Amino acid sequence: MPVDRIDELGGRPEPEQTLHVNRNRALRRFLRHRLAILGTVTIAVLVIACAIGPYITPFDHLFIDIRSRFQPPVSGAHVFGTDEMGRDLLSRLMMAGRVSLTIGFAAMMLSTIFGTLVGAVAGYYGRKTGAVLMRFVDAVLCFPNIFLLLTLAAFIQPSLMTITIIIAATSWMEVARVVEGQLRSLRERDFAVAAEMIGAPNSHIMFKELLPNAVAPIVVAATLTVARAILMESYISFLGYGIQPPEPSWGNMLNNAQQYLNSAPWLAIFPGLMITLAVTSFNFLGDGLRDALDPRLEV
Amino acid sequence: MTVVQTGTPLLTAEGVSKWFFLGNTLFRRGRQDVVRAVDGVSFDIRRGEVLGLVGESGSGKSTVGRTILRLNEPTAGSIRFDGHELAGLTRRQLRPLRPRMQLIFQDPFSSLNPRMTVGRIIDTPITIHAPETSRAARRERVAELLHLVGLSPRYAERYPHEFSGGQRQRIGIARALVMNPDFLVADEPVSALDVSIQAQVVNLLLEIREKLGLTMLFISHDLAVVGCVSDRIAVMYLGRIVELAPTRSLFLDPRHPYTEALFSAEPIPNPAIRRDRILLKGEIPSPVNPPSGCVFRTRCPYALPDCAKVVPPLTEVAPGHAKACIRDDLDLRPSQHA
C-alpha cells in the first residue's frame, strides 16, 4: 500500500509533546508554587483531623463540665483549653470543622453543577437564550450577598442542608460566567462543527465535546468557591442565623467568644485561626491550580 | 441550469444564497448591513465527480461548502442531495442524512477535539448513528480507517497533539470516512500544510476517492491543487460563480477575465519563463456593498460601461463551459513566451 510509507515522512510525534509529559508539566508548575503546596497540605491536615479527630479525643464536644470552665490552653488535659461551659475546645473545633468543610464542599458541588449547567446552556445556545441567562446571572451578581443570605436564613429553618443550599444559591454565578465564556469560544472551533456535521445531538456536543475542554477553569473556580462558602458559613453562623448552638461551627464559636475576649482570648483566636487557615489554603490552592492549568502555557 | 451535462447529479444547488445580517442586537434594531457571502450560486455535482471551487479569500467558497452541507441555513435557493431537498430541513430531519455527507477541515489543529483519543474521535459518528455497534467492531473499524489513511492502528490510543499537521489531517479524513459517506466537501484540506505534505494528502484524497467512489467538492484558493484534483472547476468571485468549466477547458481556454487573472497569479516553477502578469487593482470589494452589475467590473481590465448595468448570467459558451461575462470578444488563452 503506497500510503504506508507516508507515515514515516509525516514525522513522528515529538517526545516532549506526549500527553504524559504535558500532565507532568502541569504538575511541575503546580509543585513550583510553594504556597499552593502549603495550602494543599493544610487542607489535607484539616480534613483528616476533622474526619478522624473526634473519634480519638477522650472529650465529647457537647460534654459540659462546669468545674473546668475557662481552662487556658496547654494547662491541663485540654490541649486547646475549655470554653465557658467547660467543653473541650479542640473537640469542638474539630466538630465545627466537619460542619464548615462539609458545607464548603457541598456548596461548591451544588454551585459548580448549577453554574456549569447555566453557563453551558448560555454559552452553547448563545443569542437570546444566552443573553437572557447571562443578564439573569448579572442581576443575581448585583445582590449584596450577605444581606441576601441573612434574609433567606431568617425565613428558612437553619440546618446543614438549607445553609448549603443558600450558600450555593449565592455563589454559582462565577462558575456560570467562566463556563459561558469558554463554551462560547469553544463552540466556534472546528471540532464542534465536526460534531455538528456528524449529526450529534446538542447534549453530546455540549457535554462530551466542549465541556471536557473547559475543565481547568471550572476546577479553579470551584476551588475558590470552597473558600468563599466556608467564609459565608462563618458569617451567617457568627450572626446567629446559621448552625445553632450547642452544635459548634467556627462562626458561632466566634460569636460566643465575643463576651470573653478579655478573659479567655483563646476562645476567639482558635476558631478565627481555623477560618483563616481554611480560607487562605483554598485560595492558595486555587491560585496554584490556575497557574498550573493555564492553557496559554500549554504550547 | 445552463450547462448541459451527462450523468446523474448527486447534489444540485440552485440559486443558493447565504446572507449574514449584521448589527442586530437586543438593543439596536432597524437598519441592517447585509453581507452577501454567497449570492445566487448554482451548480451540480455528478456522482463520482470532483468539482473544484476556487477563488480568493473572502469570495465565499467556504460558505458555499458549509451551506450545501446545511451547517448554515441558506437565505435562498434550493439544495437537492440525492433526491432530498436540504434547504429548510431541521437539525432532526437532517440527522439521518448526516452520515452520507461529510466535511474535511482546513485547520487540522482546530478540527480534532484535544481531549479525545484518535480512536474516540473516529468512532464517535458510529456511537451516534449506530449505538448498538459493539466495542470490538468499532475498534476494528477504527483500525481499518487508520490503515486506509496511511496511519498505524496503534495510534488510536493517542491524543491529537501528539501528531504533526499532515497526520492530523489524515485523522480528520478518517473521521469523515467512517460512516461511508457518498459526498465529501474538502474545505481547503491542504492549505494549512507544508508543500511536501500537501502532495501526500492530495494523493491520499485521490486514492480514497478512487477506492470508495466518492463525490467531492474540493475547495481551494490554489489553482494548481484544484487543477490536479478536479474534473470540473467553478471559479468564485465575491459570492458568485463567474466561470464553470471542465478542468482542461478552463486551463486551456479561460473565458472570464477573473480566471485569467487567477492563472496569471500562479507562480511558474521556471525562472526562464517570463510572462505578462495581470495585476488586479485594489482589493476585493466588500460583500456588504457589492458593485452594481458585474461584481468584478471594478477590478476588471476589460470592463465596459455596460458592465455596471446588469448582472451577467452564467451562460454556456462552449459545451460544458459557462461564464458570467458580457464580453465575448476576448481571447484570454494563456500566452507564454520564453
What is the predicted ipTM?
A: 0.82
Helix-strand-coil split of chain A, %, nearest 5: 75, 0, 25
Local structure of A113: helix, strand or coil: helix
Confidence of residue B39 (pLDDT cuts 50, 70, 90): confident
Alpha-carbon distance of B59 to B175, in angstroms, equals: 28
Q: Is the CB of B103 less than 8 angstroms away from the CB of A13?
A: no
Tell me what pLDDT residue A22 has.
60
Sequence-distant (≥ 6) Cβ neighbours of residue B328 within 8 angstroms: B317
Contact A204 B128 (CB under 8 A): yes
What average pLDDT does this structure show over B242-248? 89
Mean pLDDT over B214-221 rounds to 91
B162, B163, B190: best mutation site toward chain A, by most A Cβ within 10 Å? B162
Instruction: Indicate yes or no: CB of A191 within 8 angstroms of CB of B69.
Output: no
Cα–Cα distance for residue pair B160/B94, rounded to 1 Å: 29
A64 contact partners, CB below 8 Å, separation of at least 6: A85, A86, A87
Answer yes or no: is pLDDT of A12 > 60: no
Q: From edge to edge, which strands make up the β-sheet containing B50-54?
A: B101-104, B183-187, B215-220, B50-54, B232-237, B240-246, B321-323, B315-318
Q: Which chain A residues have a beta carbon less than 8 Å from that of B204?
A: 3, 6
- Asked if B92 and B62 count as a contact pair (C-beta separation under 8 A), the reply is no
Domain layout of chain A by residue ranges: 18-297
Q: Output the CA torsion sign for B295, B298, B302, B304.
A: positive
Cβ contacts of A13 on chain B, cutoff 8 Å: 158, 162-164
Q: Do B150 and A200 lie within an 8 Å CB cutoff?
A: no
Give mean pLDDT, residues B277-295. Answer: 77
Q: Which residues of A touch B71 (CB under 8 A)?
A: 193, 196-197
Contact at CB, B103 and A189, closer than 8 angstroms: no
List CB contacts (< 8 A) between B114 and chain A: 213
CATH architecture of residue range(s) A18-297: Orthogonal Bundle (1.10)
Contact B196 A9 (CB under 8 A): yes
Average pLDDT over residues A74-82: 74
Window from A35-49, A225-239, B8-22, B273-287 with minimum mean pLDDT: B273-287
| Summary count for chain A: helices (H), strands (E) | 13, 0
A-B contacts at Cβ under 8 angstroms? 102
B105 to A1: CB separation less than 8 angstroms, yes or no: no
pLDDT digits (tens, 9 = 90+) for A216-226: 888 888 888 88
Residues of B in contact with A197 (CB under 8 A): 69, 71, 98, 102-103
How would you classify the pairing of strands B215-220 and B232-237? unpaired
Chain segment A213-268, per-residue pLDDT in tens = 888 888 888 888 888 888 888 888 888 787 887 888 888 888 888 888 888 888 88
If you average pLDDT over residues B63-91, what whole number do you get? 88
Residues of chain A in contact with residue B112, where contact means CB-CB under 8 angstroms, are 191, 194
Q: Which candidate in B90, B115, B201 is best for mutational testing of the A interface (most A CBs within 10 A)?
A: B115
- pLDDT class of B146 with cuts at 50, 70, 90: very high
Nearest-CA distance A223 → chain B (Å): 22
The DSSP 8-state label assigned to residue B290 in this structure reads P
Decide if B124 and A200 are in contact by the 8 Å CB cutoff: yes
Percent of residues in chain B assigned helix, strand, coil, to nearest 5? 30, 25, 45
What residues of chain B lie within 8 A of the CB of A191, using their CB?
A: 110-113
All structural domains of chain B with their residue ranges: 9-323
- DSSP three-state, residue A158: coil
**Superfamily of domain B9-323, CATH level 4:** P-loop containing nucleotide triphosphate hydrolases (3.40.50.300)
Query: Chain B: nearest CA to A285, how far in angstroms?
Result: 24
A106: Cβ contacts below 8 Å, ≥ 6 apart: A164, A168
Are B177 and B122 in contact, with CB atoms under 8 Å apart?
A: no
Question: From CA B18, how far away is CA B40, in angstroms rounded?
Answer: 8
Number of C-beta neighbours around residue B94 at 10 A: 17
User: Are the Cβ atoms of A13 and B158 closer than 8 angstroms?
Assistant: yes
Residue A296 confidence (pLDDT): 54
